[in-house]
Structure 1
Amino acid sequence: MGIFYLWGMSFSKKVNFDGFIVALLLVIGVAYVFPQLAQWRDGEVLGWVTTVGVSLIFFFYGLKLSFKQIKEGLGNWRLHLLVQFATFGLFPQLVLPFYPLVENAVQHDFWLSFFFLAALPSTVSSSVVMVSIARGNIPAAIFNASISGLLGVLITPLWMQFFLEFEEINVWGDVYWGLIKEIIIPVILGLLLQPYWGKWATRYSKQLSQFDKSIILLIVYASFAESFVGGVFDKISQNYLLALFAGVVVLFFLVYGLIYVLVKYVFRFNREDRITALFCGSKKSLTHGSVFGKFLFANSTSAGLFFLPLMIFHAFQILVVTIIAQRYHRES
């Protein structure tokens, strides 16, 4: 799927839009036209490629982690607690009150897709980049973005198990062990080898980022192909999609606004810490969402449907936070 990312980058330069978003749209189109590619040899080939690819993503991530930078961010515990609370507490609690309003299967899938988004960890690379542009607390951003992904391996499935019918899937055996194998163990290996290969990973970070996005595109393709074959999208309307977009916008600004009130008027953080809390606490990771969804929605034909709010949120957060980061940069 790397070719779609390159096409997306080429197109984005002409229209000034994020290339990865364009690539995601292209991959969804391919999944609609050629869903049978995901079933080649009963899906075993694509499944093996994505499994190895995900493990490599987090191995390279471990290689790029710096113990020194993480150590520098450890002391600011109030900031860390706020960011993690916003990520794993505030987000889900804003979506939970709507669960009693669910009356049918379509509404359940709609709500569950948002709750999945709300339960995910924060982004890593984009959070750090945006904090850097806005001249916030970079070591704290690195620490929070890094720890969020690791905490998500434990917390996200815990939230989701209350509302998912896993049927033949063993939550502790299949989901947690799968996440540990594909995320935690590769990260630890990367950390152990960081003193030896860390400089190489930093030097080729751009190429590794393209590899990461190519694997995400494969996972998205497989999920949407299965959903198209299962006819999941046949039962949703234009109003459903409009409601998805509206929900994403409201959720983002509600979380961002609440964090802003907390950091400025309750905790009275300095400017650098406010920026870090706002940018790290209000974002969600498409990378982790793609990987987690692979296990949480295994054998579910609605997997593509559950990814929609996350993909919209990913695009929206990049657009809005980029504008905000540039404004902070000019004011500094």
Structure 2
Amino acid sequence: MRAVRWPRWLVIDPFIVAMLALVVVATLLPVRGTAADVAGTIAKIGVAVLFFLHGARIAPRAALAGARHWRLHIVVLLLTFAVFPLLGIAAGLLVPTLLTNDLHLGLLFLCAVPSTVQSSIAFTSMARGNVPAAVFSASFSNLAGIGITPLLAAALLTGTGGVSLTGGAIGAVVLQLLVPFAAGQLSRRWTADWLGRHKRLTGIVDRSSILLVVYTAFSAGVVAGVWQQVSPGRLAGLLLVVTALLATVLGLAYGVARLLRFSREDRVTIVFCGSKKSLATGLPMATVLFSGASLGLLLLPMMLFHQIQLIVCAALARAWSTHPTPDPAHPAPDPAGPDSSIEDSSRVDCDKTPTISP
């Protein structure tokens, strides 16, 4: 009997599978009472550790290698922090036909979070795009997102009902996100080499922190009964909406890049960096910024979008990698070159589907 093989373009992220499994566990065995308080405290510590590791991993010199492509970076930032939010606002027209109010709030928050780092760089390298520019663009998006995402979330979600920003949200962002991130950057002199040698261990810490966030958030929702508001039909509607959102941004990114006459390599970078949303940054941010039993529903659009963006972008990257059209004036960078050393995430074999972390 022949073993069943996944299509090469179908990237099933085991991390997403683990999160969905925890959603089921939280539905059947939610944490309650004192145990919920303890789990929440541990989750906050985990978020701080997570952002410390983010800061310690990002090498400023490597990222700055692609900084000179300022037109490209402006386009990516506008896609990430302007086009996405506008599309999220427009999706309000789908309430209540396809989305509930809480699911629309989750979609709005998804539209406010920064781009991914590792998957944006990996897919850009796989499609033979401008890797140094992708390193800078994705890294800068995450750095800027620490300040921009809370402001966007405040503008988009406050006063819309269901979920509200907590009173100490700004202080929480500074203490739980910005301070650990800055500490990680300052610690690079002593920690960068060690982290480079222990990527498996730090990856486990990353994922464990996020999984705990997911479990505590969905447990709170189950205890409060918010899952009674979501039917299979609503979930199907949400899947359709996030798929349409990704397709729209991909089309806009490619169209704008062609209109502005970017090189082929830069167009690839704009498409992959401008269409992504970071699960690793967004989920912890949500727990810091928001409170309430509906937090679990707030996270659901992000989880679905993450898996869909991996499948679609993997298919795009593979298609583009097999039909390169080099531009002599803008030669493609060497993916293994010295300017693409951030987490070694740009060292991707273009003939293999990369392993993508959140």
TM-score by length of 2: 0.81
Question: Equivalent residue of 1:94, what SS?
Answer: helix
1:44 aligns with 2:44: no
Other structure's SS at 2:277 match: coil
1:73-222 alignment to 2 at 5 Å? 73-99=66-92, 102=95, 107-162=100-155, 163-165=157-159, 169-170=166-167, 174-222=168-216
- Provide the residue aligned with 1:241 in structure 2: 235
1:286 and 1:314 in contact (8 A); partners too: yes
2:343 equivalent in structure 1: none
Aligned to 2:17: 22
Question: What letter corresponds to residue 45 of structure 1 in structure 2?
Answer: V
What are the residue-to-residue correspondences of 1:273-284 with 2, within 5 Å? 273-284=266-277
1:290 CA displacement: 0.9
For residues 93-142 of structure 1, give each alpha carbon's deviation from its aligned partner in whole angstroms, at most 9, with x where no partner exists. Answer: 112134366569x7322321211111111112221222222222222212
Q: Which amino acid aligns with 1:317?
A: Q
Secondary structure of the 1:161 match is helix
Q: Which moved more, 1:200-209 or 1:18-27?
A: 200-209
Moved over 3 A (4+): 98-104, 165-168
Q: Tell me the CA shift for residue 169 of structure 1.
A: 2.5
Q: The residue matched to 1:35 in structure 2 has which SS?
A: coil
Q: Structure 1 residues 311, 108: closer, same or farther in 2, change over 3 A?
A: same
Aligned to 2:318: 326
Q: Which amino acid aligns with 1:227?
A: G
Relative distance call for 1:167 and 1:28 in structure 2 (3 A) is closer
Preserved CA contact (<8 Å) 1:92 1:115: yes
CA distance in 1 between counterparts of 2:119 and 2:109 reads: 20
Distance 1:154 1:168 in 2: 15
Does the alignment pair 1:231 with 2:228? no
Per-residue CA distance 1:256-275 (angstroms, 9 max, x = gap): 000000111x2111122111
Q: Is 1:71 equivalent to 2:64 in the alignment? A: yes
Comparing 176-185 with 311-320, greater Cα deviation is found at: 176-185
**Structure 1 residue 304 corresponds to structure 2 residue 296:** yes
Contact 2:124 2:269 in 1 (8 A): yes
Cα shift at 1:182? 2.0
Judged with a 3 Å threshold, the aligned counterparts in structure 2 of structure 1 residues 204 and 135 are, in CA distance, closer, same or farther, namely farther
1:250 to 239, 244, 247: 244
* Structure 2 residue 261 is matched with structure 1 residue 268: yes
Seq. identity, %: 36
Q: CA deviation at 1:43?
A: 2.7
Asked whether the equivalents of residues 154 and 165 of structure 2 are also in contact (C-alpha less than 8 Å), the reply is no
How far has the Cα of 1:47 moved from its partner?
Answer: 2.0
Deviations 1:151-187 (A, max 9, x none): 22222222222333476821xxx21221222222222
Structure 1 CA distance for aligned equivalents of residues 217 and 73 of structure 2: 33
How far, CA to CA, are the matches of 2:289 and 2:182 in structure 1?
23
- Structure 1: segments with no counterpart, 5+ residues: 1-11
How far apart, CA to CA, are the structure 1 residues paired with 2:126 and 2:16? Answer: 21
Partners of 1:272 and 1:199 lie apart in 2 by 31
**C-alpha RMSD over aligned residues:** 2.2
- Number of aligned pairs? 311
- Tell me the distance in 2 between the aligned counterparts of 1:88 and 1:45: 35
Q: Distance in 2 between matches of 1:138 and 1:40?
A: 48
Q: Name the CA shift for 1:329/1:222 in 2 (closer, same or farther; >3 Å).
A: same
Alignment partner of 1:57: what SS? helix
Q: Distance in 1 between matches of 2:274 and 2:164?
A: 33
TM-score (norm 1): 0.87
Structure 2 CA distance for partners of 1:16 and 1:128, relative to 1, 3 Å: closer
Letter of the structure 2 residue corresponding to residue 46 of structure 1: A
CA positional deviation for 1:296: 2.8
Gaps of 5+ in 2: 1-5, 325-358
